[in-house]
Structure 1
């Protein structure tokens, strides 16, 4: 698979820690049956390994938020983030989106690999479960993560000053935000020093101290487990912000995922590399809009032209789900079809309403897809001469409309409820604070003391 030239599709970004928004998730799930269908593939795995179904936790009213998930067993929040990314990917591809590159942020790299076909949805869930248990065995819930309003170089100097081998740079998001991980007592020292230096900081919603040298002992056993799962060829290029390169055909994905335990995520470097390669449209496939808020900041001072950044399962201004506007922007740019799943309905079952066909597809869509793939394999045959097949037409880049530049379009939504509930209002306020103050959305919890903790 060639990875030297950008394709005409967008870059899909899969979030890691914090990538879940309960209000947006529930609203999107009501309108897109593919979302439940993805989680129903995960359910048998969690039932077998953990004795519980993930759908019983997530698909309920009122919406369950990330802070609540983090109070549950660690695997719950991790699989919620993983499944949400896959669900967003399924909705996008059902609407004809064909990404040029998939990129995952920490945990999101597993999601990206599954979306690219390296593993089944079920085996991806098993990988997430094994990753969680392996880290829990080393961390024991004593680790924490903190976002510093400082460059990676300044943050590394702070780490060196404290002389604690268990403290490390975990993520380099952009020139003014770096994430550290380590024991809670070490993070407390970071806060004290940051206050003295006038560096802003915020605690992150994370179960453990990810990307930390203390996790090295957990990596070999994890890699051995993943090597026992069926690894398939990638159908879409996957770029790793951890290794700083594309995954190569035939390499051991298990070993690269094991590297995640101790190596940092250099997200800003990845964004700059892809931009230099010609990528201009970045879509976050998952909960919230954290990564798409980081992209312009990563490119600030490193690129002169504009990029398009869009999110999916997040709530924007006016308490509107961003997914419909994102699909509209992608259609306007020629990066998505106009009807998605409805085209399948009109061809296979025109007598059914969209809602009826959506319910059918959620129940039987995977079976239909498998049947079609088997019949195609028979039709093509092992000796079919693919060289004589007509070449795919070369995609013609379509200029992105001005209204889609830099942020997702925020069209007025006449159907918005007149009196939103508390969770919906909080989601809107949180998004506004995150955009204005350049902190990840997850730091703005109902309990956050904005003046004392964030200097607001």
Structure 2
């Protein structure tokens, strides 16, 4: 009996440098999808996003954050839609779609409730509706359980803070005023808990967004809802959507209501859903699934930009209903994205005494220092830390610990880069980290 497959549509933050560039060479549907997105965005007065994503140099998330908000959001939305089209076009049909926060719009488009052009208009309308709230709030991830997160809010006596997202048993997102989050960060640091600000200029999933809901609805007034072709489960509303739902209102309500992803995964798992595919960049949602329920199969085909073709093929082969042979037209090695166990977030690594910048020394020396630093911190034999070993996909080093290690790299090498600006998904191997260190020394980072 085939495992029933859930396609997971990630929210804002699901972007990695170079995403879909390799897949675009092998799948014309990527260019076709973004051509449609560019045409619809032009009608909203928004520049084309495909030129940014697929131009001479792939932009980092920091590059896109310096542009109009709609561009990063359309990039994330478009990556999910294009990935869904690649998978389904190759015969990998999902049994259920689940969108996380912003990802619900892409999930509903892929389910047929809205056409792609209207999905673009919804993304642009959301950005316009939230513009007055930019800079008035913030969000941050914290690596602890929900009870402890609630106690921290009480400890710092900041009642305006709320738990905006419950992503896994030990990963939650706080939402509220930036100064209040700064107080929680101090407490989290003292307790050795992971804490990271998100790249969002407002407090989503917070009561302060209530007035944005009718504005968003009004901006979507001319968009027509269509019958669902695929079932969609909402971790915000805690159930499947139906054609009787006002889905535009449901999406607008997501601005205020919390995301209960942990509860959604547990509910689906209890009903026998055991295969989960991340239909977007990176693997944030599949990691949360692994950390929440046992005995599941997960696929994150776009985890590593240079291995997208192999990752997509592996996902297709795993979920094809007919059990046919290898998919044609997708060259490259047969390589599955292996689900690694997700360890509990580790206490923050004690800060090392900063070393002065060392203008001398080449890449081999930097790589050797990195290998020794990581081997000691991870308690791994140094010989297993190959230059091109994927820290997460192959060695099981979760992003929380990678973030702590990158902070230590900045301190050890005396780099000018702010630890808060580092993105672990852009530095997935020791080789990439060595190149980052050398570029930072030369003043060439970002």
Confirm or deny a common fold (TM above 0.5). Answer: yes
Residues 45-60 of structure 1 aligned to structure 2 (within 5 Å): 45-60=40-55
User: Would you tell me which structure has more helix in proportion to its own residues?
Assistant: 1
Residues 29-54 of structure 1 deviation map (CA, whole Å, 9 limit, x = unaligned): 22221111111111122222234111
Pairing 1:147–2:150 present: no
Conserved? CA contact 1:21–1:66, under 8 Å: yes
Q: Distance in 1 between matches of 2:89 and 2:401?
A: 29
CA deviation map 1:249-276 (0-9, x unaligned): 2210012112111111111111111111
Question: Residues 44-123 of structure 1 correspond to what in structure 2 (within 5 A)?
Answer: 44-123=39-118
**In structure 2, what is the Cα distance between the partners aligned to 1:321 and 1:178?**
30
Q: Residues of 2 paired with 1:131 and 1:196: CA distance?
A: 37
Output one character per residue of 1:149-184: Cα deviation in whole Å (capped at 9) or x when no partner: 111121122223334354221111111111112222
Residues 434 and 441, structure 1, Cα contact 8 Å, conserved in 2: no
What corresponds to 1:313 in structure 2? 302
> Quick check: 1:8–1:335 contact (8 Å CA) kept in 2?
no
Structure 1 counterpart of 2:313: 327
Instruction: Give the secondary-structure state (helix, strand or coil) at the position aligned to 1:257.
Output: helix
CA distance in 1, matches of 2:399, 2:46: 39
Structure-2 change in CA distance of 1:240 and 1:448 (3 Å): farther
TM-score, length basis structure 2: 0.74
* CA distance in structure 2 between the aligned counterparts of 1:44 and 1:330, rounded to whole angstroms: 29
Partner of 1:349: none
Residue pair 2:276, 2:297 contacting (<8 A) in 1 also: yes
Aligned to 2:198: 204
Output aligned runs, 1:21-420, within 5 Å. Answer: 21-137=16-132, 139-299=133-293, 303=294, 306-315=295-304, 320-332=306-318, 334-335=320-321, 338=325, 406-407=339-340
For 2:121 and 2:402, the matched residues in 1 are separated by 28
Question: Alpha carbons of 1:406 and 1:185: their partners in 2 closer, same or farther (altered >3 Å)?
Answer: same
Against the structure 1 CA distance between its residues 37 and 407, is the aligned structure 2 distance closer, same or farther, given a 3 Å change threshold?
farther
> Which segment drifts farther, 176-185 or 80-89?
176-185
DSSP-derived class of the 1:35 partner: helix
Please tell me whether the aligned partners of residues 94 and 341 of structure 1 are also in contact (alpha carbons under 8 angstroms).
no
Please say if residues 67 and 205 of structure 1, whose CA atoms lie closer than 8 Å, have aligned partners that are also in contact: no
Q: Which has the higher contact order (CA 8 A, sep 6+)?
A: 1
Distance in 1 (alpha carbons) for counterparts of 2:69 and 2:403: 17
Q: Which position in structure 2 is the counterpart of 1:436?
A: 397
Q: Structure 1 residue 307: deviation in Å?
A: 1.0
SS in 1 for 2:259: coil
Runs of 5+ in structure 2 lacking a partner?
342-385, 411-416, 425-446
RMSD of aligned Cα (Å): 3.4
C-alpha change, 1:448 and 1:236, in structure 2 (3 Å) is: farther
TM, length-normalised to structure 1: 0.72
Pick closer, same or farther for the CA change 1:50–1:33 going to 2, 3 Å: same
CA distance in 1, matches of 2:337, 2:52: 35
Secondary structure, aligned partner of 2:127: helix
Contact kept in structure 2, 1:239 and 1:247, CA below 8 Å: yes
User: Structure 1 residues 150 and 453 mapped into 2: Cα distance closer, same or farther (>3 Å)?
Assistant: farther
CA–CA distance in 2 between the matches of 1:227 and 1:7? 41
Deviations 1:409-439 (A, max 9, x none): xxxxxxxxxxxxxxxx999767569951343
Whether the 8 Å contact between 2:265 and 2:292 is mirrored in structure 1 is: yes
User: Which SS does the other structure have where 1:312 is aligned?
Assistant: coil
Segments of 5+ residues of structure 1 without an aligned counterpart are 1-5, 343-353, 356-402, 409-424
Equivalent residue pairs, number: 367
- Alpha-carbon separation, structure 1, partners of 2:113 and 2:402: 30
**Could you tell me how far 1:289 is from its partner in structure 2?**
1.4
- Once residues 423 and 48 of structure 2 are traced to their aligned partners in structure 1, the CA distance between those partners, rounded to angstroms, is 36
Cα pair 2:3 2:319 within 8 Å, conserved: no
**What do residues 189-224 of structure 1 show as CA deviations (whole Å, max 9, x unaligned)?**
111122233322122233432211111100012123
Counterparts of 1:442 and 1:250, CA distance in 2: 44
